[in-house]
Amino acid sequence: MEEKKKKTPRPMNKKTAKLIRYGVIIAALFVFGYSTYQLVDTYLGYKEGTDAYEDIQNEFFGNLVVVDDDNSNASDDSSDDETGESETNSGSGSIDITNNTSGDTLSALDFAGLVASNSDSVGWIKQVNNNYINYPIVQTTNNDYYVHRLFDLTYNLSGSIFVDCRCSEALESKNVLIYGHNMYNKSMFGTLKYYYEKDGWYDDHKYFDIWSGYTHYRYEVFCLIETNVNSTDFYDKITFSTDEDFMEWITKRREEATFDTDVEVTEDDYVVSLSTCLGNGRDGRRFIVMLVRTATINDEDNSVIETW
């Protein structure tokens, strides 16, 4: 039987080869163009969010300086581009200290103006020695609304710093859960990761200032935790039936902490849990910075009114 001859494949003609080359080039250009568009769109979104919050800082949050009757001198609040650190312990504001509603004390926060601008306002957070975390705090009836909405309600991936809707007493709750995105441009809670990324960050950034309305509290970091968004033992524990229940919960958190300090937490204390994503957050991992209230501060001279 005669063996069948194998057919030799025809060489590709020049026209077909040229069309394929053009197709590959066009596809590559499309991918490059789309990637560039995505990068530019992301950058513009970041810039929009940063600019919006800078405007809010300038309008509602002032420098911690004593104001004379006739004139005022705002302190220099220039910050380092890399660390956000400042010589002052305040935000970059164009206003000075504002009289609060009672008229008895002075406040760096124009809370009435903040509420007039957004009725969901409950206060302000400012990390000591870090101007990147310097934002209004809001709270509404669900935990989705401000995930991608700025303080002025504009849609933006930066979102807002917001209190868990289940904290019935807002910033005066026993355990206040506050959420913020881990942004790549260091905005929102994007610098919380420095606690585990940068040696010595904790030593220079132990304290946060939180205004609940016009009342200025000082908080201190007492432990750092890595957990999962589905951790009911952490995220579902908002209220406590007894002091023993509260202390048992605190003990568990300290046992699972990746970093713990010698800062004491007692049954009479109030804590704040700052929650953000680890990495891009898609795997559900979360990083928590836990704070305990240590003092009430007088904004007029930045002195301690009461220790907790």
In this structure, what CATH number is given to the domain that contains residue 148?
Answer: 2.40.260.10
By C-alpha distance, which of 302, 305, 306, 292 is closest to 175?
292
Residue 223 belongs to a domain: yes
Report if residue 13 sits inside a domain. Answer: no
Q: What was the pLDDT predicted at 11?
A: 65
State the CB neighbour count (10 A cutoff) for residue 277.
Answer: 22
The answer to whether position 56 is within a domain reads no
Count of domains observed in the chain: 1
Average pLDDT over residues 85-102: 40
Q: Within a domain: residue 72?
A: no
Domain annotation covers residue 60: no
Which residues form the domain of 303? 117-307
Model pLDDT, residue 79: 44
Burial of residue 59 (CB within 10 Å: 0-12, 13-18, 19+) is middle
Residue 236 lies in a domain: yes
- State both tokens at 69: 């009757």
**Average pLDDT of the segment spanning 276-298:** 90
pLDDT of residue 76: 39
Q: Residue 46 pLDDT more than 90?
A: no
Lowest mean pLDDT among 96-105, 165-174, 287-296: 96-105
pLDDT on residue 129? 85
With respect to residue 76, please indicate whether it lies within any of the assigned structural domains.
no
Give a yes or no: residue 207 inside a domain. yes
For CA atoms 176, 149, 132, 115, the dihedral sign is: negative
**Amino acid 306: pLDDT:** 79
On average, the pLDDT of the chain sits at 81
Asked if pLDDT for residue 96 goes beyond 60, the answer is no
Choice among 22-26, 136-140, 177-181, 224-228 with the minimum mean pLDDT: 22-26
Of 97-101, 114-118, 198-202, give the lowest mean pLDDT range: 97-101
pTM (two decimals) = 0.77
**Comparing 283 with 69, which gets the higher pLDDT?**
283
Tell me how far apart the alpha carbons of residues 283 and 31 are, in angstroms, rounded to a whole number. 27
